[in-house]
Structure 1
Amino acid sequence: MSLPQIGQLVQVRNMTFIVNDVAAASSDMSPACTKVTLECVDNDRLGHIMEVIWERENDQTLHIYSDETFPDVNEPFDHPDRVDALELAILWSSPSVLGGPKLMSPFMGAIQIEDYQLEPVSRALMLPRVNLLIADDVGLGKTIEAGLIVNELLARGRIKKILIVAPASLTIQWQSEMEEKFQLEFKIIDRDYLLNLRREYGLNANPFTSFPRLIISIDYFKREQVKNLFAQSDPGNNALKSWDLLILDEAHNAAPAGRQNYVKDSDRTNLLQAITPHFEHKLFLTATPHNGFTYSFTALLELLDPLRFNRGPEVDQKQLDLVMIRRLKENIMNKNFAVRSIGAITIENNDTDAKLFDLLNSYIKARLETSNTTQISFAMTMLKKRLLSSPLAFYRSIIWHNYAIGEIDESNVADEKLLLKITQAAIETFSDDNEKDEFEENAVKEVTRVMKRLNEKEKTLLSEITRISSDSYQKHDQKALKLLEYIKNKLFSGGGWNNERLIIFTEYKDSMEYLKTILDKIDDGGRILTLSGGTDNTKREEVKYEFQTDPEKSRVRILIATDAASEGLNLQHFCRYLIHYEIPWNPNKMEQRNGRIDRHGQKSPEVFINHFTYANNEDSLFLQVIIDKVRTMREDMGAISDIIEKNIEKVMLGKSRTLDFNDNRRDIIKRDIKRDIAAKYEYSGLIESFEESKKSMKINLANIKKVVDNALKISGVKGIEPVLDEGLKNMCGLIKEVPLSWHSVKKHLKDKNGNLLKLIFEPNKYLEREDTAIMHLAHPLIKFSISEFRKQLFSFNSQMSRLTYKIVKGLDKVSIKASARYLVVGALGHLLHEEVISVYGNPGETGGFKHNKSLEAELENKEFSYTEISTELAGKIRILIEKNKKNINAEIGAKISDRHEKIERTLAKKAEKDAETVEKLINERINEIKKRLDDFINKTGDEYRQLTLFTEEEAQQFRENMKWLDYRLAELKTRLVKEPEEITRHYQIKDEKSFFLSITVYIPAKLAGEARG
């Protein structure tokens, strides 16, 4: 059985594929077998990747198509536009690991690219392994930056298998944004996906091998069964990692939690430690990369790039500068981001509200005097936070508290470890509000049960608090009345709803319910939506769609959402008003909320952020001071949020009345992240690179239309039809018909109502018009067009001769351009490089064609025409080509030989440089670990004595850290041998191939005219 070669067209299982990789299968297979990686070119499964063991396939269904060689001179001439389109299609779909200045990704998405968003993808191309921490400000477009990197690496053939790990509430958003903005299909792994997969393919089906691009929520991934499925998906091939790219969203959630004496690995940290070794490249995304604990920050960096970082007390600043990208909105020059206006809505407490606050403060003070522990403080904190939120939230919490008070048994001995675990679990970040409420309720009950019994004074206070709360939780408090007044002022005009929109954020689902009941009274149908953590994905997407739809077409005006639902939501299109119904004690939550409308893509020049302040309430006024302070400290948000939250808790419980920022964590961040974040960034160089890429890749309006129009006509249907739209001029067109085999493209050419979209062919022309669709290189229409031309390279059913001519004015002699595809295959059976090689020269009547480099610029810059030439001239041209065929082949061979030498030298230098870099990095990490272990062993025992002061949990984590250092040292020593060898092998050339592409004859206009005459 003959084996296929990379770049060939084959038929397998009655489908047509391009061969991407040919490699030896697992060594335990006998006899020796070949694993062939295939990419489908059939239109109904275009781009689908399949791996097969070639020798195990049915001989009757296998066929290797012959490659086209020199064009048959007796075939009819193609129109030059068609041959040009063929060459463009190959140019736009040729991967290469060589790198270089050209960027493909900006032309592969329906996005409005800002210059600063090009920095991450440009930085990625400088790294041998793409390990980046993208830590841009909320709303700057980290998803777009990640998508650009994904498309760039895909275009260069550096990645295929991608896994996105994100919070559960963001999985659908990632899927839709990758589809809508970059035309990349991702599957979401969840319980339903696993059940459906096994129902269709059997109980042994593994979701991690079901599709090359997958998304999974980090908390679903933590489950033991799911982790085991991931481990089973690794084929154990030591030559290559089983996955190409990991994208970790909200990466700070995976960092170990900070403590005074140590950092504690979380379940998420442990998950990342288990999976990251399987990935060649990694992107970590977060707006708050550093929580003020260096050990925690370096642990996150070690997960990102274990060759550049070890977890420990110091950050390697030089390495950090290579992998971290961190910009705030105010640091980026020449960008018209919306101005953020923050305002307080002042409330005068009525007597009832004021009395309730005073009673609760008295009760908290009394309780802490009798049971002043961290856990008791937690229970009192919950009461205070809920009172500051809404009457209903407080009423339900006081009911929990009363129930737990009745369960107090002073004979019970408090299990401090258990209580700590329960209370810590209750303050975790939850994606489900029901789960959040359940954990909080359980924590309050368990903590209350081990309190001392209430004395008479406390009983009286609690009884009065409960009475007032029971009487008022269904009534409008002063804050609710002020909210209604605000809505009337901003969302109503002339007695009716206007087109403004408002988001109201609250920390509690109970408060959301309270607000919905109040606002229902002004709702005349479909004006108010709610969104909470735990809302099913379908409903969540419906709410987002309605709120992001033009107010002229959707009745929705107000969205009430909880914090658990807010993470990652993009709601900026038609909303500029946001209200915090209560001030979060953790400022990071407030910043996350603000980022829902204060982000890239906000159309309004100003966004209005409001919160409530009680004029006669000391606690409320204190929170106002917090807001003012936070405005000046945004660059340290990861650390100050935790500092401020602890300060607020002390103040609210009466333990302090001042705000203390004398925490060294801000200084630690400034030390660890030394890059001058206040510097103003300019990106003129990136724009120049972008324009150079556009020019070198020949990406322009005429060429994109040329490829699509000719692909449609080859397939037997009409091409692009003009659109009469003054606003769009000549940049767009309509496609009313596509080939039957292109049926999956149809949905991308119509709007939701089935109307034809006006297709914009001008590259990077982003329009806010719902009746248009942007054509880019990753759009299905262009992908299908490129695929149609790639099929023309093989003998079966070809609609092209790949032979054409152009009539050129001012040309003295007949000239020929001959082009070929050149492929370089690596030692591991993967495609390293593909390009179009062209030679230009003047043919002799008896041969003698020689490549003339200066002729290339002359011919490519001349205008041409195409009209039918006489039969006599056509015959002479055919004879001329045939006579020079041998020389043309020789010249192409010579140019390929020259390119081979240059590519081989380039790859060898790249391999040597990358191997040296990796070897140096590994040795640095080994020396770091040895020094830390030696320091620990050689010192006078202070560390051992210090260990006796730790809690058992801290001591256990310390022992695990030491064990981890031993493991890391052994692993790095192994990698010191393997990694340089693998890099060298990766860039070694195994084979090269060339396929003849096309012949273009340039005919002097004078000669063509004489022949016609």
Structure 2
Amino acid sequence: VRFSQASELKEAERRRIEDVVVRRLKDDINHRAVEQGLPPRFSSRKVIAREIALTADEIELSRAFRAFRKSLNAQITALGRSQQVAGYFALEVLNKRLLSCPFAFADSWWRCMEGLSEAEAEATEVDAARRAMEEDTGDDRETESRVAQAANVIGAWMKPFRDTLQKDISAVDSTLAALGLSKGQPKPRDDSRFNALVQWIEEHLRAGKRWKEDERLVLFTEYKTTLDYLITRLKAKYGDDGSIRELYGGMDRNGREDVKRSFNDPDSPVRMLLATDTGSEGLNLQTTARYVFHYDVPWNPSRLEQRNGRLDRYGQARDVEAYHFTTRLNEDIHFLAYIVSKVDRIRQDLGSVGEVFDEAIRKRLVAGEETAVEEIDKKIEAARGRAALPKPSHQETGEQEVLRLAVLKSELDLDSATLCTTLDTAMSADSGRGCLEGPDAGGRYRLGPNIPAAWQDLVDDSLRLNTTGNQRGALPAITFDPEYFITRINGRPIYRPSRDTKLLHLAHPMFRRAITSLALRRFTSDWWTVRRGPIPDGLDALILLTTEELAVNELRETFHHWVRTWRIPVRNGRLLQALPHVPAGSLRLPEVPVTETDVETARDIWDEVDIDLRTFLREKRKTLTESLQTALQKDLEVERTEERKRFQSRHGELSELIKSNTVQRLQAEIAAKKTELKQLAFAFDSDRRLQAQLEISNLQEEVRRRTEHYEEMRRHLDRERKRVLDDVLPRRFALHGDAQIFPVAVEIRLPEEKGGVR
């Protein structure tokens, strides 16, 4: 029991974080790379506010809506909670649409006005509309339908306030008309945000009358109404030639894949992708684009990060620029611009401050409160402090890990050449003939016509391209070297998948099948070979004996499983002392044909040393068993000491929690309630006395419940300590039986003939 659920981490829990959390931030990795004189490993992100110059009519629309918001809030202040929630929802719907674009607002506003002429709606109907809107349908068309229905219900709910709100309603109607957004056929006379977007496009995506070849834009909006509006106007401006595409929730899978494929294809004509939040979920768009534009700002900061993450992710070769609008002529837009900049500065701790943002946004944009930025900053810093995770206690460069990985690869003889040989060997064992053809000039291979029947389904499922129905797709080229896909851009290594080439790695289904196939054959008598190669002078041969080592503990857990190759010299029919260990990668020899005479010589040598090799294996088994037992005993003492410290620390924390946390606070509340009850002893208000007695009883029950809970946690901790120290650890660090060593393969290496390898 390492942690207890709480609103903030205690200092002891912070120190324990490193035991269970690995946190590597891109900024930290980039900083270390720069310190080493290397290019940053990951792209950086720059958030840029695009200033817009609102027209007088647009400014007047925002003023008219703020007046309407103020009046409606005044009407619901004295009402019940359900009516207040309904009013807040009404303002949220309308203000979100206004902050998306005037066109979307006008659509919802006129539907709301239609509702005013219908039968009055209850707060429960508004709540039902709210819950329907909050459901994640995954379909933006359905969402727009629910928004329209909600706007209509909101209007019907506002009917009792119509006379009071009429002046403000008329003001909004007038400003919409002045903007050309009349009911029925709304055609905006002017739109400063759209004009600013066009200006940005001309600066960043266009070169005169042509599109730039290496720049693309992903533009996000929350509503499909806004998306449709922008698509219509942008195509009218730049033409419907395939340069502008859209993505929204509810598109069919083929259409969605076509848009994604086209946008990520450097040779396609697409230059702008307009997407809703729902439509863009799960997309990787970093291959061709570095610009993201938030046409509207989502009220949920996490959604803002998800948008940026479509481009600002691994594989992005260039630094990302994320744009949004701002203006001091509209207080709400300016406030959201502040939220965007704040989210960018603290995005690494966004999860801990989400509630602060949510409260601030709703107070400002729904209730209309003039929330001070300084107050929000203080709350954010306090929230970050409660959940801040400690940084690693030591600076890590990764250099040692890279060296250890290189040593392990050499020890396992793991590289692209051996992967190729392994797959070809496994498939050939089933077909009787070689299955791989190549390599070509790029180091790629292809599967030939000799694919074993038992492998055919796996090849079709995991390799073939564009298989549809009964039509089998083409087989791609294959490579075993990931470097084939690495492109260096500005000194930064970028992985770029290829449509006609597949990377086969150890986790690929083809290799899982190959390893399983070879593993089932490893204990047959067929795995021996004869080669000629360099061996120490004066020897008749060098036997390379590959063995598999296996050891399990008393919990039946495999804790040692290894394959190693012994180099055993042979002279005059006798085995000599094994040579020092070398990595398997250094034992590789080029394939050279041998003669029947070489094979017969090897057979004779094997017959002479067969019995000695068996003795050698028995001795190695005994030595391995003894060394493992010694290591287990040492590890047991170390682990026991560490576990005792952990349990002792946790026990102390739990005792402190019982004494000083909530129980003590509840007991203080009980004492205060008892004092209050004494003061009410002579009062005539019997209801207040009964209420006080009930509260005391409830608090006492809560004290009893929490005390029992903490005591049970302490008993559980004691039981767990006894189980781990007395049962689990002794069995985990105890060898079950003896270690096992199995011969897997034998190579008899004969000396080179004079003049070199035959």
Q: Fold-level match, TM-score > 0.5?
A: yes
Task: Give distance in 1, aligned partners of 2:393 and 2:210.
Answer: 45
Task: Give distance in 2, aligned partners of 1:371 and 1:407.
Answer: 21
Task: Give distance in 2, aligned partners of 1:623 and 1:405.
Answer: 30
User: Which consecutive unaligned segments of at least 5 residues does structure 1 have?
Assistant: 1-305
Q: CA deviation at 1:570?
A: 2.0
Q: CA deviation at 1:718?
A: 2.8
Aligned match of 2:742 in 995, 1007, 1010?
Answer: 995
Distance 1:608 1:831, change over 3 A: same
| Stretch deviating more after TM superposition (707-716 or 419-428) | 419-428
Residue 824 in 1 paired to residue 551 in 2?
yes
| Corresponding residue for residue 6 of structure 2 | 311
Q: Deviation per CA, 1:582-606, whole angstroms, max 9, x where unpaired?
A: 1234444323212211222112x33
Contact map agreement 2:43 2:320 (CA 8 A) in 1 = yes
Larger radius of gyration: 2
| Corresponding residue for residue 778 of structure 1 | 507
User: What SS is found at the alignment partner of 1:454?
Assistant: helix
Task: Give distance in 1, aligned partners of 2:253 and 2:647.
Answer: 44
Aligned match of 1:350 in 55, 74, 82?
Answer: 55
| Stretch deviating more after TM superposition (458-467 or 674-683) | 674-683
User: What SS is found at the alignment partner of 1:732?
Assistant: coil
| Corresponding residue for residue 806 of structure 1 | 532
Mapping of residues 101-140 of structure 1, within 5 Å: none
Task: Give distance in 2, aligned partners of 1:390 and 1:859.
Answer: 64
Contact map agreement 1:828 1:986 (CA 8 A) in 2 = yes
Distance 1:555 1:933, change over 3 A: same
Aligned match of 1:933 in 648, 651, 658?
Answer: 658
Task: Give distance in 2, aligned partners of 1:591 and 1:986.
Answer: 45
Task: Give distance in 1, aligned partners of 2:637 and 2:620.
Answer: 26
| Corresponding residue for residue 411 of structure 2 | 696
Alignment-mate amino acid for residue 6 of structure 2? R
Q: CA deviation at 1:673?
A: 2.6
Mapping of residues 390-429 of structure 1, within 5 Å: 390-399=101-110, 401-402=112-113
User: What SS is found at the alignment partner of 1:325?
Assistant: coil
Contact map agreement 1:349 1:615 (CA 8 A) in 2 = no
Alignment-mate amino acid for residue 853 of structure 1? L
Residue 388 in 1 paired to residue 99 in 2?
yes
Task: Give distance in 2, aligned partners of 1:593 and 1:409.
Answer: 39
Distance 1:907 1:456, change over 3 A: same
Distance 1:647 1:837, change over 3 A: closer
Distance 1:632 1:763, change over 3 A: closer
Distance 1:1005 1:327, change over 3 A: closer
Q: CA deviation at 1:437?
A: 6.2
Task: Give distance in 2, aligned partners of 1:491 and 1:388.
Answer: 25
Residue 686 in 1 paired to residue 397 in 2?
no
Q: CA deviation at 1:649?
A: 3.6
TM-score by length of 1: 0.59
Q: CA deviation at 1:976?
A: 3.6
| Corresponding residue for residue 579 of structure 1 | 293
Q: Deviation per CA, 1:430-456, whole angstroms, max 9, x where unpaired?
A: 866577668877887888877793263
| Corresponding residue for residue 679 of structure 2 | none
Q: Deviation per CA, 1:180-231, whole angstroms, max 9, x where unpaired?
A: xxxxxxxxxxxxxxxxxxxxxxxxxxxxxxxxxxxxxxxxxxxxxxxxxxxx
Task: Give distance in 2, aligned partners of 1:677 and 1:514.
Answer: 49
Q: Number of matched residues?
A: 688
| Corresponding residue for residue 841 of structure 1 | 568
User: What SS is found at the alignment partner of 1:609?
Assistant: strand
Q: CA deviation at 1:983?
A: 5.2
Residue 717 in 1 paired to residue 462 in 2?
no
Contact map agreement 2:68 2:165 (CA 8 A) in 1 = yes
User: What SS is found at the alignment partner of 2:226?
Assistant: helix
Distance 1:855 1:902, change over 3 A: closer
Contact map agreement 1:733 1:760 (CA 8 A) in 2 = yes
| Corresponding residue for residue 790 of structure 1 | 519
Q: CA deviation at 1:963?
A: 7.9
User: What SS is found at the alignment partner of 1:877?
Assistant: helix
Contact map agreement 2:356 2:379 (CA 8 A) in 1 = no
User: What SS is found at the alignment partner of 2:749?
Assistant: strand
| Corresponding residue for residue 623 of structure 1 | 336
Residue 326 in 1 paired to residue 33 in 2?
no
Distance 1:307 1:631, change over 3 A: closer
Identical aligned residues as a percent:
24
Contact map agreement 1:566 1:592 (CA 8 A) in 2 = no
Aligned match of 1:1004 in 745, 751, 756?
Answer: 751
Residue 899 in 1 paired to residue 653 in 2?
no
Larger RCO (CA under 8 A, 6+ residues apart): 1
Aligned match of 2:163 in 425, 449, 456?
Answer: 456
Task: Give distance in 1, aligned partners of 2:163 and 2:370.
Answer: 26
| Corresponding residue for residue 681 of structure 2 | none
Q: CA deviation at 1:462?
A: 1.8
Task: Give distance in 2, aligned partners of 1:396 and 1:866.
Answer: 79
| Stretch deviating more after TM superposition (338-347 or 676-685) | 676-685
Q: Deviation per CA, 1:686-731, whole angstroms, max 9, x where unpaired?
A: 2222222222222223322332343344332335433442xx3xx4
Aligned match of 2:225 in 510, 515, 521?
Answer: 510
Distance 1:889 1:851, change over 3 A: farther
Task: Give distance in 2, aligned partners of 1:827 and 1:442.
Answer: 66
User: What SS is found at the alignment partner of 1:842?
Assistant: strand
Mapping of residues 209-224 of structure 1, within 5 Å: none
Mapping of residues 393-542 of structure 1, within 5 Å: 393-399=104-110, 401-402=112-113, 433=140, 453-454=160-161, 456-466=163-173, 468=176, 470-471=182-183, 473-475=186-188, 477-493=191-207, 495=209, 497-499=211-213, 500-521=215-236, 522=238, 524=240, 526-533=242-249, 540-542=256-258
Alignment-mate amino acid for residue 305 of structure 2? E
| Corresponding residue for residue 72 of structure 2 | 367
Contact map agreement 1:808 1:862 (CA 8 A) in 2 = no
Distance 1:353 1:677, change over 3 A: farther
Q: CA deviation at 1:516?
A: 3.3
Contact map agreement 2:222 2:298 (CA 8 A) in 1 = yes
Distance 1:324 1:801, change over 3 A: closer
Contact map agreement 1:340 1:598 (CA 8 A) in 2 = yes
Q: CA deviation at 1:894?
A: 1.2
Aligned match of 1:734 in 431, 442, 446?
Answer: 446
Task: Give distance in 2, aligned partners of 1:386 and 1:899.
Answer: 73
| Corresponding residue for residue 761 of structure 1 | 480
Q: CA deviation at 1:324?
A: 2.6
Mapping of residues 214-293 of structure 1, within 5 Å: none
User: What SS is found at the alignment partner of 2:570?
Assistant: coil
User: What SS is found at the alignment partner of 2:90?
Assistant: helix
Distance 1:310 1:661, change over 3 A: closer
Q: CA deviation at 1:881?
A: 1.2
TM-score by length of 2: 0.77
Q: CA deviation at 1:399?
A: 4.6
Aligned match of 2:612 in 880, 887, 902?
Answer: 887
Task: Give distance in 1, aligned partners of 2:187 and 2:659.
Answer: 66
Q: CA deviation at 1:458?
A: 1.1
Task: Give distance in 2, aligned partners of 1:448 and 1:735.
Answer: 67
Q: CA deviation at 1:635?
A: 4.0
User: Which consecutive unaligned segments of at least 5 residues does structure 2 have?
Assistant: 34-39, 468-472, 487-495, 674-690
Q: CA deviation at 1:387?
A: 0.4
| Stretch deviating more after TM superposition (526-535 or 680-689) | 526-535
RMSD: 4.5
Alignment-mate amino acid for residue 562 of structure 2? E
Distance 1:459 1:310, change over 3 A: closer
Task: Give distance in 2, aligned partners of 1:757 and 1:740.
Answer: 19
Alignment-mate amino acid for residue 616 of structure 2? E
Q: Deviation per CA, 1:367-404, whole angstroms, max 9, x where unpaired?
A: 22222376234432332221010234323433564466
Distance 1:566 1:921, change over 3 A: farther
User: What SS is found at the alignment partner of 1:599?
Assistant: coil
Distance 1:488 1:677, change over 3 A: farther
Task: Give distance in 2, aligned partners of 1:858 and 1:692.
Answer: 11
User: What SS is found at the alignment partner of 2:286?
Assistant: coil
Task: Give distance in 2, aligned partners of 1:945 and 1:397.
Answer: 55
Task: Give distance in 2, aligned partners of 1:718 and 1:773.
Answer: 20
User: What SS is found at the alignment partner of 2:160?
Assistant: coil
Q: CA deviation at 1:788?
A: 3.6
Aligned match of 1:594 in 294, 308, 311?
Answer: 308
Alignment-mate amino acid for residue 9 of structure 2? E
